[in-house]
């Protein structure tokens, strides 16, 4: 069994402030070490449960946060950008299951550091009428490759919004959100232990019962995107196939989830010209 571990930072135990997610300061260096340790706990749990191979996808920011020398040497890393499948890169490489580690709530929620893809540009995202955060969007992308999400970790808000979409997933709550920048957290050591135990259990269970469900959206995909400002909508609607719905809302169609994700990530990259 081959497992893909997609690792973000906002859902990691101990992370509550944006400074912890941005390179160039001491708080970030500590947080990226905690992120690496949670990813490594998932790696070790997957191998303990019988996995034959593990890929770890660095899924935060510039995708260069994980510390390669701290990861179990049996695993391989997916680092850097651009990449077509973004947070799910590697899923196309004959993977059997996905772990989402350190994930967070969608934009406009009360979750810790909640956002969807780009906090400075995207306010809300709907695919085929479903409002989704990063977990839902990328689970649907994995579903196009017939790969189920088996495990996810993050705060209570993230779990509450994701569980109805994927009730079969094993969830590990690393913290309880008090708001965008506050809450109660497990210690990094306790979070690592919980993640490792859950990873071992779900891997072993998936090997015994490989028919786990996928979260799937049937194409074609209609994406409705609400932007943070009207300037972002002005910019994105330079794309000829985008339809302007109102001052901050646009809509576009894509044949697949993968195509929709690539278009959203192009918009995210375009948004930096407004800074």
Active site residues: 115
CA atoms within 13 A on the CB side of 263: 25
Structure tokens at 193: 């232990």
What's the start-to-end Cα distance of the chain, in Å?
44
Query: Before 42, cis peptide (omega within 30)?
Result: no
Other C-beta atoms closer than 10 Å to the C-beta of 28 total 21
């Amino acid at each position: 069994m081959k497992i893909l571990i997609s690792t973000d930072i906002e859902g990691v135990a101990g992370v509550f402030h944006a400074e912890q997610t941005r390179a160039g300061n001491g708080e970030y260096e500590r947080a990226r070490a905690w992120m690496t340790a949670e990813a490594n706990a998932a790696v070790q749990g997957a191998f303990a449960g019988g996995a034959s191979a593990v890929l770890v996808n660095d899924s935060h920011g510039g995708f260069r946060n994980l510390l390669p020398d701290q990861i179990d040497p049996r695993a391989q890393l997916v680092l850097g950008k651009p990449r077509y499948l973004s947070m799910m890169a590697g899923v196309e490489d004959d993977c059997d299951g996905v772990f989402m580690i350190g994930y967070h709530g969608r934009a406009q929620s009360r979750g810790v550091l909640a956002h969807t893809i780009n906090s400075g540009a995207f306010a809300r995202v709907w695919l085929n009428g479903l409002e989704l955060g990063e977990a839902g969007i990328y689970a649907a992308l994995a579903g196009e490759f017939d790969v189920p999400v088996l495990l996810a970790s993050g705060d209570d808000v993230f779990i509450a919004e994701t569980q109805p979409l994927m009730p079969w997933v094993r969830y590990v709550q690393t913290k309880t959100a008090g708001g965008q920048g506050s809450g109660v957290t497990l210690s990094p050591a306790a979070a690592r232990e919980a993640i490792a135990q859950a990873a071992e259990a779900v891997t072993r269970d998936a090997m015994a019962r490989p028919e786990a469900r996928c979260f799937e959206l049937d194409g074609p995909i209609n994406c409705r995107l609400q932007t943070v400002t009207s300037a972002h909508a002005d910019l994105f609607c330079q794309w000829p196939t985008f339809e302007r719905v109102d001052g901050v809302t646009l809509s576009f169609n894509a044949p697949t989830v993968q195509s929709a994700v690539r278009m959203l990530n192009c918009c995210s990259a375009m948004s930096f010209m407004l800074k």
